[in-house]
Amino acid sequence: MSSAQLEIQLIACLVAIACAIPGTFLVLRKMAMISDAISHSILPGLVIGFFLTEDLNSPWLILLAAVAGVITVVLVEYIQKTGLVKEDTAIGFVFPALFSIGVILIAKNANDVHLDVDAVLLGELAFAPFDRLLVNGVDLGAKSLWVIGSIVVVTLILLVTFFKELKVSTFDKQLAATLGFSPLVIHYGLMSIASVTTVGAFDAVGAILVVALMIAPAAMAYLLTNNLKKMLVIAVFAGVASAIIGYWVAHYLDASIAGSMTTVLGVLFLLVYLFAPSKGLISVLFRQKRQQVEVYLLTFMLHLQNHSEESERHINHLSEHINWGKMQSKTVLDLALKNNMIVINNNIISLTEKGQGFTNKAIDYITTNSAVAIEKMKEDFFLFRG
């Protein structure tokens, strides 16, 4: 592994960390799409910054671009506040409009600006090590390494200092306001960090990957835990893992590093989405199925309790009266038998004492409407779940 390769991976990891932290809060605050808007609308900021400074490496450029990002947020919020359109509509046309201004500014001055729209959107990590930071002729490493590195440090310091404030204002705005933290300051602080991170990261990895690195690790972490600290840690790990795996995939395929990092993120997300314990698709589907069967069982037992006459309790009567299919009635009957809720004599079904007790309790719960308690009750009575 050459030093350039090491540097690329290091930059990629730092970008992943820098994005994952604000990304987590954006996802929790239901503002994920804002990161998409910011990542596009920094373009006019960059172009105008370039006109003013005539220097692509000036720190003013980064500052102006970050300001453009914050302006986007303010604009979106202003439009939303007028009540003329919904928030998502406001986001949906503010950033393309700003992006268009950027594209047109570049096109009109194509000879003077060495900015490429493709580069802003897609970035090229492979070139990052060529842009060195030289101080008095001494090579201190790749420039983006320093830029991203300082963003990570600042973000981490802010995160640790204002963790409590961020946490409270994310989950309970009113409480934050009554405790005396201004939600507004925290909101714009977060937006500024997101903007600066986007700007700092875009020339290494491109605007779209910034969006992916902000949202995807946070979304994965959200599926895996409900604890904010754990969520931040998982998000950072997922980002870093995808950065390193993505780099080697790109190396192997000889394709865009940003693209392959995103693809790895996509695969990771798909895995988490499918297999996350308790919140993943498979476990959700499994739980829904189980609840369905258990509700059927309950309905069935209530039916048995309501009817003492034998004709209503005949085994073939299930499919006729309650309109169940063969498979369905078999599943429900098996479950009831396994749990010793019913006995079957000559195809006539009757409740056992335990079944009687369960049904009575269930009626109690249903009439008092405490839906939560019924899960606990099932645990008390069921030997086998549906």
Partner 1 sequence: MTVTEYFNLLFTDYTLQTITLGTAILGALCGMLGSFAVLRKQSLLGDAISHAALPGIALAFLITGAKDSNTLLIGALVSGLVGTFWIRGIVKKTHLKTDTALGLILSLFFGFGMLLLTFIQKMPNANQAGLDKYLFGQAATLVASDVWTMCIIAGLSLLILLVFWKEFKLLLFDVDYTKSLGFNVKFLDVLITFFIVISIVVGLQTVGVVLMSAMLLAPAAAARQWTNSLSVMVVLAAIFGACSGVFGTAISASSNNLSTGPVIVLIAAVFVLFSFIFSPKRGLLFREIRYRSNRKDLELNKTLAFMYQIVESHDNINHPHAIKILNNFHGFTRKSLQKLEDRELITVTKTMWSLTEKGFSTAANLYNQLEENE
CB-nearer residue toward partner 1: 140 or 282: 282
Residue list 92-121, contact with partner 1 (CB under 8 A): 92-93, 96-97, 99-101, 103-104, 107-108, 110, 117-118, 121
Cβ 190 to partner 1 shortest distance, Å: 15
What gap in Å lies between CA 208 and CA 39, rounded to an integer?
7
Q: Is 166 among the residues that bind partner 1 (CB under 8 A)?
A: no
Candidates 44, 69, 149, 259; binder of partner 1 (CB under 8 A) is: 259
Q: Is 84 among the residues that bind partner 1 (CB under 8 A)?
A: yes
Residue 136, φ and ψ in degrees, nearest 5? 50, 40
In the structure encoding, which two tokens stand for residue 86, read together?
A: 């919904």
Q: Annotate each residue in 36-75 with x if it binds partner 1 (CB under 8 A) or - if it does not, as one string.
A: x---x-----------------------------------
DSSP lists the bridge partners of residue 342 as 351
CB-nearer residue toward partner 1: 125 or 196: 125
What gap in Å lies between CA 153 and CA 160, rounded to an integer?
11
217 in Cβ contact with 242 (< 8 Å): yes
Q: Is 273 among the residues that bind partner 1 (CB under 8 A)?
A: yes
Cβ 254 to partner 1 shortest distance, Å: 6
Q: Is 133 left (phi over 0), alpha (psi -120 to 50) or beta?
A: beta
Residue 343, φ and ψ in degrees, nearest 5? -125, 150
For the CA atoms of 206, 211, 213, 214, the dihedral, rounded to the nearest 10 degrees, stands at 140
Candidates 63, 113, 122, 228; binder of partner 1 (CB under 8 A) is: 122
Which alpha helices (DSSP H) does the chain contain, by range? 3-28, 32-53, 59-82, 87-108, 117-122, 143-161, 163-171, 173-179, 183-205, 207-224, 228-253, 257-275, 281-306, 317-321, 326-338, 353-368, 373-381
Residue 342, φ and ψ in degrees, nearest 5? -135, 160
What gap in Å lies between CA 69 and CA 36, rounded to an integer?
10
Cβ 200 to partner 1 shortest distance, Å: 18
Q: Is 25 among the residues that bind partner 1 (CB under 8 A)?
A: no
Q: Is 212 among the residues that bind partner 1 (CB under 8 A)?
A: yes
Binding segment for partner 1 (CB under 8 A), chosen from 44-52, 83-91, 195-203, 370-378, is: 83-91
Q: Is 263 among the residues that bind partner 1 (CB under 8 A)?
A: yes
Using CB under 8 A, list all residues that contact partner 1: 27, 30-33, 35-36, 40, 79, 82, 84-86, 88-89, 91-93, 96-97, 99-101, 103-104, 107-108, 110, 117-118, 121-122, 208-209, 211-212, 214-216, 218-219, 222-223, 250, 253-256, 258-263, 265-266, 269, 273, 279-281, 284-285
